[in-house]
Amino acid sequence: MTKKEKKVAVVGGGPAGLMAAEVLSAQGLEVHLYDAMPSVGRKFLLAGRGGLNLTHSEPFDSFAGRFGERRAQIEALLRAFGPEQLREWVHGLGVETFVGTSGRVFPTDMKAAPLLRAWMHRLRAAGVRFHMRHRWTGWPDAAAPTALRFATPAGEIELQADAVVLALGGASWSRLGSDGAWVPWVAERGVAVAPLMPANCGFDVAWTTHFAERFAGVPFKSVAISFTDTRGRRFARKGEFVATASGVEGSLIYAASALLRDKIAAQGSATLLLDLLPDRSAEQVRAAVLHPRGARSVASHLKSRLGLEGIKTGVLHEVLTREQMHAPDTLAETIKAVPLRLIAPRPIDEAISTAGGVRFEALDAHLMAAALPGVFFAGEMLDWEAPTGGYLLTASMASGVAAARGVLLHGERDAP
């Protein structure tokens, strides 16, 4: 069978699926991409609405370390297509990039749409055929892992491919296409799947009605959080996050979300300590609080001596009684360590990404399932997670490259 005669079905039109389609079509294979939505890249476009974070410029070892327990598996993928290769690929589409002050890498215009348009033009020119509004519903034949079934506007169809790349995403932002419906179908075929969980997510906090109504949507700026995880390791980081009507969310919370989620699962809740003034020592804060305030109220005193006001004063009232607010030592200690009890992660559909998925132990080095010869997995379907900052996109695209190269190697093994 020649390459042009070899038909590959890529299911999922996110970055992982599109990248797999690009690698395969560049090698002359007949590539058909199927997606349940009317157009591809919907989550990619939404993620780029506030500025498309492509990857990160930090040293490779630090970058690989962001993938935690799955570092070994993801690092192997990144060595073939990592941050530098991703930037070169973007430049090849005619889109320039720059490194922000945080080390994150963005397109110069900060937008996702021009990049996606250029990418789609390249894919169509390479012969990739797109089949939209085709929702994968599993396998029609248990003995044929590369035979697929789809629900379409014209009714149910079945097709046979020579190889399949499944890149259906996790279960966050289901309105954009990734709803996790694939989990039982894959598990039933003997492929081990770790339960899907929210990642880079917010958490519920039992705010009082007064606090929730007054401060929902207000950021905690220039703060730090710390806590001890289930393994006894201390997490501590400065940054900012936002209070919501139900709890907390935002970059600083997302950075700790995996550890907080696991601690809640193990212990029923997780308490983090919020330092409202991380740039001032405990001694400096205590001295300012103890300074005579005369006829001024506590709120006026805190604003005058420490610059505390608004949501920072509000959260103190959440955890301290009136008497404690007037006890200088207790107040000073709490300013440096406000206990926030997180009672649950927000629902998975609200999360930026998901953890869990197809276990790497069920796959070979080329991301093919041992139980499903000819079927490869990529993207958020795989059991890994990473913080925001370009890590998610980079690893998803790297896995698409790896799966496509696995298909090519599989074809070579099968060739007469």
Secondary structure (DSSP) of 108-121 = TT--SHHHHHHHHH
> What is the predicted pLDDT for the residue at 144?
95
The predicted model gives 188-202 an average pLDDT of 97
Same domain, 259 and 397: no
Select from 294, 322, 345 the last residue of a domain: 345
What is the span of the domain harbouring residue 34?
A: 7-198+351-414
On the question of pLDDT at 414 being above 60, the answer is: no
Does any domain span residue 1?
A: no
Select from 345, 371, 390 the last residue of a domain: 345
On the question of pLDDT at 1 being above 60, the answer is: no
- Residues 94-129 have pLDDT tens digits of 999 999 999 999 999 999 999 999 999 999 999 999
Cβ proximity of 56 and 105 under 8 Å: yes
Same domain, 290 and 145: no
**Could you tell me the CATH number of the domain that includes residue 93?**
3.50.50.60
Same domain, 243 and 129: no
Q: Please give the Cα distance from 126 to 21 (Å, whole number).
A: 10
Select from 312, 345, 378 the last residue of a domain: 345
Same domain, 178 and 249: no
Same domain, 126 and 193: yes
Same domain, 127 and 262: no
Same domain, 227 and 318: yes
Same domain, 310 and 330: yes
Radius of gyration of the chain (CA): 25
> What is the predicted pLDDT for the residue at 293?
86
Pairing assessment for the beta strands 30-34 and 7-11 based on DSSP bridges: parallel
Alpha helices in 27-70, H assignment, sequence order: 42-47, 60-65
- Residues 176-188 have pLDDT tens digits of 888 999 999 999 9
Does any domain span residue 338?
A: yes
On the question of pLDDT at 47 being above 90, the answer is: no
DSSP code for 361: G
Same domain, 187 and 217: no
Element (H, E) at 24: helix 15-26
On the question of pLDDT at 416 being above 80, the answer is: no
Residues in the chain: 416
**CB-side exposure of 263: number of CA atoms within 13 Å?**
22
pTM, entire model:
0.92
Q: Please give the Cα distance from 37 to 405 (Å, whole number).
A: 26
Pairing assessment for the beta strands 219-228 and 30-34 based on DSSP bridges: unpaired
Cβ proximity of 65 and 389 under 8 Å: no
Largest Cα–Cα distance of the chain, in whole Å? 92
What integer best gives the mean pLDDT of the chain?
95
CA angle 214, 219, 224 (to 5 degrees): 125
> What is the predicted pLDDT for the residue at 4?
56
Cβ proximity of 73 and 360 under 8 Å: yes
Cβ proximity of 378 and 17 under 8 Å: yes
Q: Which of 18-22, 49-53, 340-344, 360-364 has the lowest mean pLDDT?
A: 49-53
Same domain, 175 and 215: no
Does any domain span residue 66?
A: yes
Does any domain span residue 2?
A: no
Q: Please give the Cα distance from 195 to 39 (Å, whole number).
A: 28
Does any domain span residue 47?
A: yes
Grouping H, G, I as helix, E, B as strand and the rest as coil, residue 342 is strand
The predicted model gives 292-308 an average pLDDT of 92
Same domain, 56 and 160: yes
Does any domain span residue 186?
A: yes
The predicted model gives 147-161 an average pLDDT of 97
Domain count, the chain: 2
- Residues 337-388 have pLDDT tens digits of 999 999 999 999 999 999 999 999 999 999 999 999 999 999 999 999 999 9
> What is the predicted pLDDT for the residue at 176?
87
All residues at 6 or more sequence positions from 215 whose CB lies less than 8 Å from its CB, including other chains: 243, 310, 311, 314
Same domain, 215 and 194: no
Describe the crossing of helices 282-290 and 298-306 by its angle, rounded to 10 degrees.
130
Give me the phi and psi of 288, to 5 degrees please. -70, -40
Q: Please give the Cα distance from 95 to 1 (Å, whole number).
A: 37
Which tokens belong to 60? 């490779």
Alpha helices in 320-390, H assignment, sequence order: 322-325, 328-336
Q: Please give the Cα distance from 90 to 101 (Å, whole number).
A: 20
> What is the predicted pLDDT for the residue at 413?
60
